[in-house]
Amino acid sequence: MRSRARAHVATLFLSIVVASVLLATGGGAAHARTPTPPSSPSTSFGLPASVDGGAWASGHLQGTAIDRRRGHMYFSFTNLLVKTDLAGRPIGSVTGLTGHLGDLDFNSADGRVYGSLEYKAAQAFYVAIFDGSRITRMNMDARTTDVLSTVHLREVVRDYTADMNGDGVFDGDTGNTPDHRYGCSGIDGVAFGPDLNGRGGGRLTVAYGVYSNTARTDNDHQVLLQYDVRDWRKYERPLSEDALHTSGPASPGGKFFAYTGNTTYGVQNLEYDGHSGNWLMAVYKGKKAAFPNYALHVLDGSKPARRGEVKGQPRPESGRIVSLLPRGLHDESSGVYGYESDGQYGLVSLDDGRYYVAEAGTVDSGGATLQTGRAVLHRWTGAVPNPFAVRGPAG
C-alpha cells in the first residue's frame, strides 16, 4: 500500500515538473519535448547508460560536460546551454547567446563549466564560464543574469586575423584564403588536464578551429593553448554582445602543435583522460589526399612536449610539439596515428576507462526541426577502427 502511494506521489511530482518545464519555454529557445529517462539500467557508481539532453530550437549539439558530485549534465547546443539531471530531466538553460558556443568541460576546482565562445564577425574569442549553481530555471538570459562570465583570448585573435599574404586585407571568416595563421578559424575544443610540458599542474587547454583548405601546407597541425585559470577572476567580465570586452591574459602559458594533417574546423571536442593520462581530440575529417584523415587522434600523455619543427610554415618555425600515441590505425607515409569513431559532438572521460560519447540528431515537431543530443556511456577498448564499445564495464 505504501509502495503504491509513493509511486502515485512520484508520478504526480514528475507531471508537475514536466508541466513547469513546458510552461517555462514561452520565450527564448523552445523545448519541444521532455527527455524520457533511460529505460536501460543504471551502471555502477550511479551513472546511467545514457543521458538525454532534449530537443531544442537551437544550433546542433557541440559538447557536453558532467558534474558527477551534483549529478548534473551540461549540453552545449551552439547558442543554448542546457543543464539536466542524470535522468535527462531539464533543470535550467541559458539563452541569449548569438555567438558560437562550442565544447564544454567541468572544472572540479571551482565547480564551474567552461566552454569556447566565438564572435567571428567581431574578431572576438572567449572562454565562457558558467556558474552551474545559479542555473536554476529555463531560459535564463546570458546577458541579464549572473550565470555567465567571459575571458578574452588575445592569442587567438592574433592568429585568426593574421594577414599571411601581406596584402593589407584581412579576408574574414573564410577558409579560401592564405590568411589566418595555421589556418586558425577560431576555437572549439576545451579540456582541463596537466601541463603539456610535463611539469604537472592543472591547465585549461583550448584547441583551435582550423579551416579546411587543401591548397596550403601550413594548416596541418592542431594548435593547443594552455592557461592557468587560477587567477582568471581578475579578467572575468559579464557578457555584453553590444560592447565585447578584451579583458584576458596577454598570452597563453603554453602553445603546442600536434601534427595530424588538416581537418575540417580543427578539434571539435578535446578531452583529458585521467585513467590513461592521454588526451583525445575528436575532429571532423580532413580532405587532403596526403593524409589518412582520421576522426579521432590521441596525444601521448607520457611524452612531454619537445621543441621541434612546425611543418609547412611560410618561413621555418619551431614550436612545442606534442606526440600522437603510437596506437590504433597508422598511415606510414604521413606518420599519423588515429581512430575512426564518434566524439565530435561531445566527449566526457570518467577517468576509469569509461566515456560518455555524445550523439546529435534532429526531430520534427509540428513542422519545425529541433536539434537533439544524447550522451551514451562507452568503454575504451583501444580496438581499431573504433576504440569505443557501448556501455561496457570499466576497461
**Would you place residue 169 in the very low, low, confident or very high pLDDT band (cuts 50, 70, 90)?**
very high
What pLDDT, in 10s, does the model give residues 251-299? 999 999 999 999 999 999 999 999 999 999 999 999 999 999 999 999 9
- pLDDT value at 30 more than 50: no
pLDDT confidence bin for 201, thresholds 50/70/90: confident
Here the CATH number for the domain that contains residue 118 is: 2.130.10
Alpha-carbon gap, residue 220 to 212, rounded angstroms: 10
Q: Which pLDDT score, from 0 to 100, does residue 18 have? A: 35
Q: Alpha-carbon distance 123 to 26, whole Å?
A: 33
What local confidence, expressed as pLDDT, does residue 19 receive?
Answer: 36
Residue 185 pLDDT greater than 80, yes or no: yes
Close Cβ partners of 318 (under 8 Å, ≥ 6 residues apart): 307, 308, 309, 310
User: What stretches of the chain show up as alpha helix (H) in DSSP?
Assistant: 2-23, 154-160
Rounded CA-CA distance 318/178 in Å is 20
In a domain, 2, yes or no: no
Q: How far is CA 74 from CA 134, 150, 239, 347, 388, in A?
A: 13, 18, 19, 12, 22
In a domain, 327, yes or no: yes
For range 13-32, the mean pLDDT: 38
- CA torsion angle for 225, 228, 231, 232 (degrees, to 10)? 30
pLDDT at 204: 98
**Any domain includes 3:** no
Within a domain: 20: no
At 32-45, the pLDDT tens digits run 443 444 433 344 34
What pLDDT is stored for residue 384 in this prediction? 97
Domain count for the chain: 1
Q: What is the average per-residue pLDDT within 7-19?
A: 37
Task: Give CA torsion, residues 72, 113, 128, 195, to 10 deg.
Answer: -150
Closest listed residue to residue 110, CA positions, set 74, 69, 140: 69
Number of H helices, E strands in the chain: 2, 27
Per-residue pLDDT band at 199 (split at 50, 70, 90): confident
d(C-alpha 239, C-alpha 128), whole Å: 9
Residue 36 placed within a domain: no
Q: Which three cell numbers stand for residue 201?
A: 599542474
390 found inside a domain? no
Q: Which tens digits make up the pLDDT trace of 90-108?
A: 999 999 999 999 999 999 9
Rounded (10°) CA dihedral 258, 260, 266, 267: -60
pLDDT at 39: 38
Inter-CA distances, 50 with 8, 42, 325, Å: 26, 9, 28
Q: What is the mean pLDDT of the chain?
A: 89
What pLDDT does 391 receive?
A: 76
Q: Is the pLDDT of residue 244 over 60?
A: yes
Give the list of residues 6+ apart from residue 315 with CB closer than 8 angstroms, or none.
none
Domain that holds residue 203: 61-348
d(CA 154, CA 152): 6
Whether 278 maps to a domain, the answer reads yes
Residue 367's contacts (CB-CB under 8 Å, 6 or more residues apart) are none
Could you tell me if residue 168 is inside a domain? yes
